[in-house]
Structure 1
Amino acid sequence: MTTLADTPPTGERERRPVILAVDDEPAVLAAVARDLRRGFGERFRIMRTSSGAEALEVLGQIRARGEQVALLVADQRMPGMEGTEYLARARQLVPDAKRVLLTAYADTEAAIAAINEVALDYYLMKPWDPPEEQFFPVLEDLLTTWESGAALEAGGVRVIGHRFSKESHDLRDFLARNRVPARWLDVERDGEARELLRIAAVPADRLPVALLEDGSVLERPSVLELAERLGVVGVPASDHYDLVIVGGGPAGLAAAVYGASEGLKTALVEREAPGGQAGQSSRIENYLGFPAGLSGSDLARRAADQARRLGAELLTMRDAARLRVEGSGRIVELTGGAELSANCVLIASGVSYNQLRAPGFAELTGAGIYYGAALTEARSCADQHVVIIGGANSAGQAAVYFASYASQVTMLVRGESLTSSMSHYLIEQLAALPNVDVRTGTQAIRAEGEDDHLARLTMRGPDGSESTERVDACFVFIGAAPRTDWLEGTVTRDERGFIVAGLDVKGNGWPLARDPYLLETSVPGVFVAGDVRARSIKRVASAVGEGSMSVSLAHEYLAEG
């Protein structure tokens, strides 16, 4: 039985996003609907059905009306169609909806398997009394995450441009990574884009164009110009801090959270967007406490919100240009001329993906070739051939993500196998995807374009033979170089530019009688954490651990007086 009894009559009903609950037991379904109404009825429209087949019908009707579905709650043990089968089919209809499975204790293994099979967001074991502790917090977290994504999709800023334009791509990527609500309109595919350009009297040779909520129109804006107009560029509230953190990846964000929570006046400087390279990861599945995994963007959002709530200042779109030592003071000079004085500095500036030097790659960067995941491009790759170059976790996560959109994903891995560079869980996931082809011992040696965007890649296989294939998009993950040029002449680095720390700097210009602390650089009071540290473990969890540890070491340094 399908019922809309939980909603007001059509004439009074707002177009609120839908939460749909499915259970074949009337008493349980009534209890689920009751708790959903009590916890979320003001923000969402609660609907319920008694079978998976009826729920799929309802979802089809909701889609036909152009309404949004925020959350699907389904019981696992239902006759005719189990909860996992229903959620898998529902995912095709409403891919952005959050998915929760209701299970008995005996169904735990099925629920864990569903995390991979249907991208399950959470499973709840019955009963969940009291709902205030066992039910509401879980769903509130999922719905808040969904609302954040929905706000980005329905945002007021509109960017009009060409899909295969580097300038357009840079604007889209900036807005997405900084979680600025915005809509992208492709001038070649969207009639709305051409109509807006006509109304705004903007010629086609002035793309990309940004239409702001205040009615202003920016023609061919730079990322910095758009950031300043949107108020994204951070302005320091003070000249002096206890702790200045350079870099907003997992290490820097963890340090900001712990520094602020422990009473240190803390400022974080980030050149692009909170999250760093990890913020571009489509799915991080081995981070402790998140059995269903989470996206790098979601992790960055949570961490940045937490740091701000605790009192840290996050200065985005600002970059460090130089570190200066003046007595006990540590001065971070920023691009644009500003300076931040600090008692302690943490360098967590991370790394940048290496550029592929093969012919054609430089010319087509941003026009079909991208460095990093560039998740803003994923939906544009529907039913296309995507190539991922690289064999580490970041490349594997991207391949799994793009496989949900592209008709074919080809991974080019220089090494003989993935086992030495990629986590086992990712290798298994890739092997299970029918549209992912992993080619080991293979390199891309040339890129060619048509109409100013990528069209073909030439590849060399392990036997030396070459082949050329049609390709729609290529994403490159081929190692990384540390962002440490700004430390030249100040902090000791190794031959590759990574920062040396701990006992490795003793006898290498270390000026004090005591031994350096574990994460302390050659400059006392200047610490390093994350991927930019020499011999670091390139994992999100280790970066978070080092960022947290650096705050304890900073306290010890400050206690020296």
Structure 2
Amino acid sequence: MTHPAILTVDDDPAVSRAVARDLRRRYGERYRVVRAATGLEALDALREIKLRGEQVALLLADYRMPQMNGVQFLEAAMDLFPRARRVLLTAYADTDAAISAINVVDVDHYLLKPWNPPEEQLYPVVDALLDVWLASPDATSAEIRVVGHRWSAPSYKVRDFLARNLVPYRWHLADDPEGARLLSAAGLTGADVPLVVTAEGKSLVQPSEAELAASVGLTITPAADFYDVIVIGAGPAGLGAAVYGASEGLRTVLVERRATGGQAGQSSRIENYLGFPDGVSGSQLTERARRQALKFGAELLSAREVVALENTGSTRVVRFADDTRIAAHSVVLATGVSYRMLDVPGCADLTGRGVFYGSAATEAANCAGQEIYVVGGANSAGQAAVYFARYASHVHILIRAEDLRSSMSQYLVGQIEAIDNITVHPFTQVCASEGDEHLERLTLIDARTGNTRLVETSWLFIFIGAEPRTDWLDGVVARDSRGFVVTGPDLVVEGRRPAGWGLPRDPYHLECSVPGVFAAGDVRADSVKRVASAVGEGAMAISLVHRYLEAQ
């Protein structure tokens, strides 16, 4: 294994040499110290390290640099190595900027120049940060290798699962020399992909998400049978509930079917979230919230699908797909929504093979120099279009309306209008998709004229509305006609409380038709579909959980 890297970036040659010298003197036997003179040069170095499947433990960046300052570099670097510790090097006059950077890019520490003597000013800080990095779940493990076919839907699902859970891996095509060697070593052929080779050298053939989660160190088995609150769904609402529940002393378990962050976790850039004036990627926001919940003692179960909610007196029981159960005094439903499927010929068969739901950031680099199509006119579609425009030769946004202004935030509309390689096609829908091994062409229809046209493309990203996917709650809690969970005052109709309520009070604001069960975020009927409101509802749900528990 190559030693993990410590990367320093400073445009002052004297300072750059000094920091590299001091770091090599103390850490050179265990870490590889990499120097860069600019933020762009440093990002190129990080991309090479990422492609080689190596790790970065620590980033030290000077604040004052031309073209890209230290804060901007660290923000970009977080997308490549989110668990690397971050240090900003500043002069005394820049301390205010350094402090604000703690909120912008989650800087772990800032160091004033000069830092002499390093034994007092530099090494204690670096020692502490490297200890934190080494304690993170995947920091000391060898790389995970995935072997698959370029246009294999199961291979894409494995890569997407790992990427969304921020698990680093190295991707090999089955017909490349290294991929072929790994298949041969495992006694397999190209028909057996995807193959996942774990850090310990164990081979997993076409693994389920639960098997994959267990193999990469994610927790899939609950530590207890009973909790104060079970939070189902680890999107913004669920993470908010987990942070506030655990921080206030409740025994809290957060259960997620796929990956923390939900739809928000897939967003390339969220620019209207309070406290982040320069924007924040969904993965960055998700990772901070996940770490925060774990810091306060919340338990996080990954790749566990909840299939039933049962009421046993004052106890609420959650049943998983494998028929195991956990119980609690209360439950917070924060399962969010899923993108609605595009019901046109060909799409179902090509899903994961050129047709993708959500931003599918793992595919961005593969789109380089090609034309892609985005279906949808809301913020998630706009964020994806702006992100993919960095890679694709051209991005086409297909919408049914006349323009984007009725469904998308103004800041995104302005960005899209300013990007030359994005074109918005109003009154346009996909009516068919075709391809053999992968998507090759789309048939588009103009809703005004009925005229159709054929376009050649291998990339279609779909963001069309949302469905709550709450069928598993049928007969347990009240839902509206679209499946969203009804809560609070909406449950009281003409002065009558919901059937079977049994308490001498009306349901609390976020409480469902079952006492002690609350809904937060997008899954709740008539909720505001924004990250900030989802986080707020998650926090509010915990305050109502406290009120419910105190009354028992």
TM range (shorter): 0.7 to 0.9
Paired with 2:300 and 2:73, the residues of 1 have a C-alpha distance of 41
User: Do residues 244 (structure 1) and 233 (structure 2) align?
Assistant: no
Matches within 5 A, 1:435-514: 435-450=421-436, 452-464=437-449, 465-506=451-492, 507-509=496-498, 510-514=501-505
Paired with 2:379 and 2:138, the residues of 1 have a C-alpha distance of 28
Matches within 5 A, 1:408-419: 408-419=394-405
Give 1:170 shift. Answer: 1.1
* Residue of structure 2 in register with 1:540 after alignment: 531
User: Do residues 277 (structure 1) and 263 (structure 2) align?
Assistant: yes
Paired with 2:163 and 2:79, the residues of 1 have a C-alpha distance of 19
Partner amino acid, structure 2, of 1:548: A
Give 1:200 shift. Answer: 3.0
User: Do residues 199 (structure 1) and 185 (structure 2) align?
Assistant: yes
> Of 396, 419, 422, which residue of structure 2 is paired with 1:433?
419
Matches within 5 A, 1:20-31: 20-23=9-12
Paired with 1:206 and 1:61, the residues of 2 have a C-alpha distance of 32
Specify whether residues 30 and 391 from structure 1 end up closer, same or farther in structure 2 by C-alpha distance, changes over 3 A only.
same
> Of 1, 8, 19, which residue of structure 2 is paired with 1:19?
8
Partner amino acid, structure 1, of 2:313: G
Specify whether residues 120 and 83 from structure 1 end up closer, same or farther in structure 2 by C-alpha distance, changes over 3 A only.
farther
Is the Cα contact below 8 Å between 1:21 and 1:33 reproduced in 2?
no
Give 1:378 shift. Answer: 1.5
SS in 2 for 1:18: strand
Matches within 5 A, 1:101-112: none
Paired with 1:99 and 1:448, the residues of 2 have a C-alpha distance of 49
Is the Cα contact below 8 Å between 1:156 and 1:182 reproduced in 2?
yes
* Residue of structure 1 in register with 2:156 after alignment: 169
In the alignment of these two chains, the number of paired residues is: 530
Paired with 2:426 and 2:244, the residues of 1 have a C-alpha distance of 42
> Of 335, 343, 357, which residue of structure 1 is paired with 2:343?
357
Give 1:434 shift. Answer: 1.8
Specify whether residues 149 and 215 from structure 1 end up closer, same or farther in structure 2 by C-alpha distance, changes over 3 A only.
closer
Matches within 5 A, 1:83-162: 83-84=67-68, 96=80, 156-162=143-149
Paired with 2:70 and 2:333, the residues of 1 have a C-alpha distance of 48
* Residue of structure 2 in register with 1:10 after alignment: none
**Identical aligned pairs, as a percentage?**
46
Give 1:458 shift. Answer: 1.1
Paired with 1:213 and 1:19, the residues of 2 have a C-alpha distance of 28
Is the Cα contact below 8 Å between 1:59 and 1:93 reproduced in 2?
no
Q: Taking structure 1 as the reference length, what is the TM-score of the superposition?
A: 0.80
**Higher mean C-alpha displacement, 539-548 vs 419-428:** 419-428
Paired with 2:75 and 2:328, the residues of 1 have a C-alpha distance of 50
Give 1:346 shift. Answer: 0.7
> Of 510, 528, 531, which residue of structure 1 is paired with 2:522?
531
Give 1:526 shift. Answer: 0.9
Paired with 2:548 and 2:43, the residues of 1 have a C-alpha distance of 62
Is the Cα contact below 8 Å between 2:355 and 2:459 reproduced in 1?
yes
Partner amino acid, structure 1, of 2:196: A
Give 1:23 shift. Answer: 4.5
Paired with 1:308 and 1:165, the residues of 2 have a C-alpha distance of 35
Specify whether residues 92 and 538 from structure 1 end up closer, same or farther in structure 2 by C-alpha distance, changes over 3 A only.
closer
* Residue of structure 2 in register with 1:183 after alignment: 170
* Residue of structure 2 in register with 1:375 after alignment: 361
Partner amino acid, structure 1, of 2:346: G
SS in 1 for 2:10: strand
Give 1:456 shift. Answer: 0.5
Specify whether residues 89 and 250 from structure 1 end up closer, same or farther in structure 2 by C-alpha distance, changes over 3 A only.
closer
Is the Cα contact below 8 Å between 1:23 and 1:75 reproduced in 2?
no
Paired with 1:358 and 1:62, the residues of 2 have a C-alpha distance of 38
Partner amino acid, structure 1, of 2:369: D
Paired with 2:428 and 2:312, the residues of 1 have a C-alpha distance of 51
Is the Cα contact below 8 Å between 1:161 and 1:186 reproduced in 2?
yes
Paired with 1:185 and 1:234, the residues of 2 have a C-alpha distance of 27
Paired with 1:522 and 1:57, the residues of 2 have a C-alpha distance of 54
Paired with 1:19 and 1:164, the residues of 2 have a C-alpha distance of 38
Give 1:206 shift. Answer: 1.4
Paired with 1:455 and 1:521, the residues of 2 have a C-alpha distance of 46
Is the Cα contact below 8 Å between 2:251 and 2:298 reproduced in 1?
yes
Is the Cα contact below 8 Å between 2:9 and 2:16 reproduced in 1?
no
Q: Taking structure 2 as the reference length, what is the TM-score of the superposition?
A: 0.82
Specify whether residues 193 and 325 from structure 1 end up closer, same or farther in structure 2 by C-alpha distance, changes over 3 A only.
same
User: Do residues 324 (structure 1) and 310 (structure 2) align?
Assistant: yes
Give 1:275 shift. Answer: 1.3
Give 1:203 shift. Answer: 1.6
Paired with 2:232 and 2:42, the residues of 1 have a C-alpha distance of 52
Specify whether residues 186 and 155 from structure 1 end up closer, same or farther in structure 2 by C-alpha distance, changes over 3 A only.
farther
Give 1:192 shift. Answer: 1.4
After superposition, the C-alpha distances for 1:152-183 in whole angstroms (9 at most, x for unaligned) are: 9x952211111211111111111122223321
Give 1:531 shift. Answer: 0.2
> Of 322, 333, 342, which residue of structure 2 is paired with 1:336?
322
SS in 2 for 1:243: strand
Specify whether residues 150 and 253 from structure 1 end up closer, same or farther in structure 2 by C-alpha distance, changes over 3 A only.
closer
Specify whether residues 61 and 235 from structure 1 end up closer, same or farther in structure 2 by C-alpha distance, changes over 3 A only.
closer
Give 1:519 shift. Answer: 0.6
Paired with 1:345 and 1:94, the residues of 2 have a C-alpha distance of 33
**Higher mean C-alpha displacement, 510-519 vs 423-432:** 510-519
SS in 2 for 1:363: helix
**Higher mean C-alpha displacement, 316-325 vs 216-225:** 216-225
SS in 2 for 1:490: coil
* Residue of structure 2 in register with 1:45 after alignment: 33
Paired with 2:260 and 2:77, the residues of 1 have a C-alpha distance of 32
* Residue of structure 2 in register with 1:392 after alignment: 378
Partner amino acid, structure 2, of 1:21: D
User: Do residues 303 (structure 1) and 295 (structure 2) align?
Assistant: no
Is the Cα contact below 8 Å between 2:146 and 2:172 reproduced in 1?
yes
Paired with 1:442 and 1:292, the residues of 2 have a C-alpha distance of 33
Is the Cα contact below 8 Å between 2:233 and 2:256 reproduced in 1?
yes
Paired with 2:256 and 2:394, the residues of 1 have a C-alpha distance of 35
Specify whether residues 382 and 415 from structure 1 end up closer, same or farther in structure 2 by C-alpha distance, changes over 3 A only.
same
Paired with 1:167 and 1:311, the residues of 2 have a C-alpha distance of 34
Is the Cα contact below 8 Å between 2:43 and 2:77 reproduced in 1?
no
Give 1:299 shift. Answer: 1.9
Specify whether residues 228 and 364 from structure 1 end up closer, same or farther in structure 2 by C-alpha distance, changes over 3 A only.
same
After superposition, the C-alpha distances for 1:453-472 in whole angstroms (9 at most, x for unaligned) are: 00001111354321111112
Give 1:88 shift. Answer: 10
Is the Cα contact below 8 Å between 1:155 and 1:183 reproduced in 2?
no
